[in-house]
C-alpha cells in the first residue's frame, strides 16, 4: 500500500479515532443480530420503527412492479416520474409549504441547496454544532462562513449586526444530531426578519417526530411560515431514504436550476419514492401519533434514569440522548463493554463532535420495549461505575 496512506491510517489509529463498520444481519429493528449475537439496537435513527413497516414495504414492492427499479437519469435528463411529483405534492401538503423538491439524500440536499442560495460576497451564519453536510455545503458555496456559539442567538444577533452583507443565510439543525437539543427557532426567525436574511432549518431528526402529525421542529415552535427552506430527510424517522426541501415555488425553481446535487445525479428510484410517500402518509395518521407518544415516553424514561445515575447528559427532551464522556478512548471502551453486554450504542468522536466531547449517542425507537430499555439502563450504569464515568 502507498506509504503516505499507511502513515495517515496509523496516525488516525494512534489518536484513538480509527473507525470501522459493524455487520448487522436482518432488519433495522429494536433488536438486531450483530456478529451472530442478539443485541439491543440503541443507535439507529429509525425512530418510529418504520424501516420494516409493512405499509412501506408493500408500497415499495408495488412501485417496482409498476415502474421498475431505476429512474434512469437525472430528472432534467430523462424526466420526472409520477412518483417524484406525487411525493413532492405530499411533502408540500405535509409541511404546509407552497412547493417541495426531493433530493437523493440529506447530504446531497445540504451540499446542493446552500451553494444554490449563496456564493462569493454572501454570508452564512451557521450554528457551531451544525451537521457536517451543512458545513460541506457552505464550503462549496464560496460564501463567507460565520459560526455562532451553539444555540446562542444573542451571539448570532451581534455577529449579524456586524457582518450581514450581500445575501445572508442563517442555517441551523432543527434537532441537533449529536446533542439532541432543539434550536431556538423563534429567535432565529426574528433575526431573519430583522436582517432580511434567508432562514434554512435542517430537520433531519425532527421530521416525523416533533410537532402536530410529525410536521417537525418549525411547526412545534410555530415558525413554519418564517423558515424559507425546511429541509428534512426520509431516511430517519420516515424509514425510507432521501431528502426534501419544503420551499416556495420560486425557490424550488431556483434549486432545479442551480443545485448541482439535483442537476448532476440520477434521481431516486421508484421503490424508494413509494416508501417515502407511504411514510409521509403514515406519520400523519393516528398510528403515527401513537408511535410518537411511545417514543416520547421512552425518551423521558431513558434520559431521566441516566441523568439520575449521574451521567453528563446535555439538556434536552428528544429521542437523541447523548452521554458525554470526554475522552475518545474511554468512549470507545464504554461502547465495546456495552456491546459485550448486548447493548449496541455508538461512540461518537471527533471530528463528528468537538475535541474533548466524545460521547455515547443513544437513540430511542418507538418499537423498543420498556423491559429492554430498563435492562439497558442497568448495564450502562454498571459499566459507568466500573469505568469511573459516574
Question: Which residue, 164 or 276, is less far from ligand PLP as judged by CB?
Answer: 276
We find the least distance from the C-beta atom of residue 131 to ligand PLP, in angstroms, to be: 4
- Residue pair 383/341 in contact (Cβ under 8 Å)? The answer is yes
Question: Which residue, 202 or 219, is less far from ligand PLP as judged by CB?
Answer: 202
Bridge partners (DSSP) listed for residue 37: 34
We find the least distance from the C-beta atom of residue 240 to ligand PLP, in angstroms, to be: 10
Of 205, 217, 267, 358, the active-site residue reads 205
162 is annotated as an active-site residue: no
Q: Is 244 exposed, middle or buried (0-12, 13-18, 19+ CB in 10 A)?
A: buried
We find the least distance from the C-beta atom of residue 183 to ligand PLP, in angstroms, to be: 11
We find the least distance from the C-beta atom of residue 298 to ligand PLP, in angstroms, to be: 20
Of 60, 111, 141, 177, the active-site residue reads 177
We find the least distance from the C-beta atom of residue 104 to ligand PLP, in angstroms, to be: 8
| Cα–Cα nearest to 334, from 269, 385, 274, 297 | 385
- Residue pair 323/343 in contact (Cβ under 8 Å)? The answer is no
Q: Is 131 exposed, middle or buried (0-12, 13-18, 19+ CB in 10 A)?
A: buried
Question: Which residue, 168 or 233, is less far from ligand PLP as judged by CB?
Answer: 233
Please name the residue that has the C-alpha cell 410518537.
292
What cell does 123 get? 454570508
236 is annotated as an active-site residue: yes
- Residue pair 326/334 in contact (Cβ under 8 Å)? The answer is no
205 is annotated as an active-site residue: yes
Between 82-95 and 54-67, two packed helices, what is the crossing angle to 10 degrees?
150
Enumerate binding residues for ligand PLP (CB under 6 A).
105-107, 110, 131, 133, 173, 177, 202, 204-205, 233, 235, 243
Report which residue's Cβ sits closest to ligand PLP. 106
Question: Which residue, 233 or 367, is less far from ligand PLP as judged by CB?
Answer: 233
Question: Which residue, 131 or 368, is less far from ligand PLP as judged by CB?
Answer: 131
Of 192, 236, 298, 368, the active-site residue reads 236
What's the rounded Cα separation, in Å, for the pair 9 and 270? Answer: 39
3-state per-residue secondary structure call for 255-296:
HHHHCHHHHCCCCCCHHHHHHHHHHHHHHCCHHHHHHHHHHH
We find the least distance from the C-beta atom of residue 385 to ligand PLP, in angstroms, to be: 31
Question: Which residue, 106 or 322, is less far from ligand PLP as judged by CB?
Answer: 106
3-state per-residue secondary structure call for 112-172:
HHHHHHCCCCCEEEEECCCCHHHHHHHHHHCCEEEEECCCCHHHHHHHHHHHCCCCEEEEE
* Active-site annotation, residues: 177, 205, 236
Amino acid at each position: 500500500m502507498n506509504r503516505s496512506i499507511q502513515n495517515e491510517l496509523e496516525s488516525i489509529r494512534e489518536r484513538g479515532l480509527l473507525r470501522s463498520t459493524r455487520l448487522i444481519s436482518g432488519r433495522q429493528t429494536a433488536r438486531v443480530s450483530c456478529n451472530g449475537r442478539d443485541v439491543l439496537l440503541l443507535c439507529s435513527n429509525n425512530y418510529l420503527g418504520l424501516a420494516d413497516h409493512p405499509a412501506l414495504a408493500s408500497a415499495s414492492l408495488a412501485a417496482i412492479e409498476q415502474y421498475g427499479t431505476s429512474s434512469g437519469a437525472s430528472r432534467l435528463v430523462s424526466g420526472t416520474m409520477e412518483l417524484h411529483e406525487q411525493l413532492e405534492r405530499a411533502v408540500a401538503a405535509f409541511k404546509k409549504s407552497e412547493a417541495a423538491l426531493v433530493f437523493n439524500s440529506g447530504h446531497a440536499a445540504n451540499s446542493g441547496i446552500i451553494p444554490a442560495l449563496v456564493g462569493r460576497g454572501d454570508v452564512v451564519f451557521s450554528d457551531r454544532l451544525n451537521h457536517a453536510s451543512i458545513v460541506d455545503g457552505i464550503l462549496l458555496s464560496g460564501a463567507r462562513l460565520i459560526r455562532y456559539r451553539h444555540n446562542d442567538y444573542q451571539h448570532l444577533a451581534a455577529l449579524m449586526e456586524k457582518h450581514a452583507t450581500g445575501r445572508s443565510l442563517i442555517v441551523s439543525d432543527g434537532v441537533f444530531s449529536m446533542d439532541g437539543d432543539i434550536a431556538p427557532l423563534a429567535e432565529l426567525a426574528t433575526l431573519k426578519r430583522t436582517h432580511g436574511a434567508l432562514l434554512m432549518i435542517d430537520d433531519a431528526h425532527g421530521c416525523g417526530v416533533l410537532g402536530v402529525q410529525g410536521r417537525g421542529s418549525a411547526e412545534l415552535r410555530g415558525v413554519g411560515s418564517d423558515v424559507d427552506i425546511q429541509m428534512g430527510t426520509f431516511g430517519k424517522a420516515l424509514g425510507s431514504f432521501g431528502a426534501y426541501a419544503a420551499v416556495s415555488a420560486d425557490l424550488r425553481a431556483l434549486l432545479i436550476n442551480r443545485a448541482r446535487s439535483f442537476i448532476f445525479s440520477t434521481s431516486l428510484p421508484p421503490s424508494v419514492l413509494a416508501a417515502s410517500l407511504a411514510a409521509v402518509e403514515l406519520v400523519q395518521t393516528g398510528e403515527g401519533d401513537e408511535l410518537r407518544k411511545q417514543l416520547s415516553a421512552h425518551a423521558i424514561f431513558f434520559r431521566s434514569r441516566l441523568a439520575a445515575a449521574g451521567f453528563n447528559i446535555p439538556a434536552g427532551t428528544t429521542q437523541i440522548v447523548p452521554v458525554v464522556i470526554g475522552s475518545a478512548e474511554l468512549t470507545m471502551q464504554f461502547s465495546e463493554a456495552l456491546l459485550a453486554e448486548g447493548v449496541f450504542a455508538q461512540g461518537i468522536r471527533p471530528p463528528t463532535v468537538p475535541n474533548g466531547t466524545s460521547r455515547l449517542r443513544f437513540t430511542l425507537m418507538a418499537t423498543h420495549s420498556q423491559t429492554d430499555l430498563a435492562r439497558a439502563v442497568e448495564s450502562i450504569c454498571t459499566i459507568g461505575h466500573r469505568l469511573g464515568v459516574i
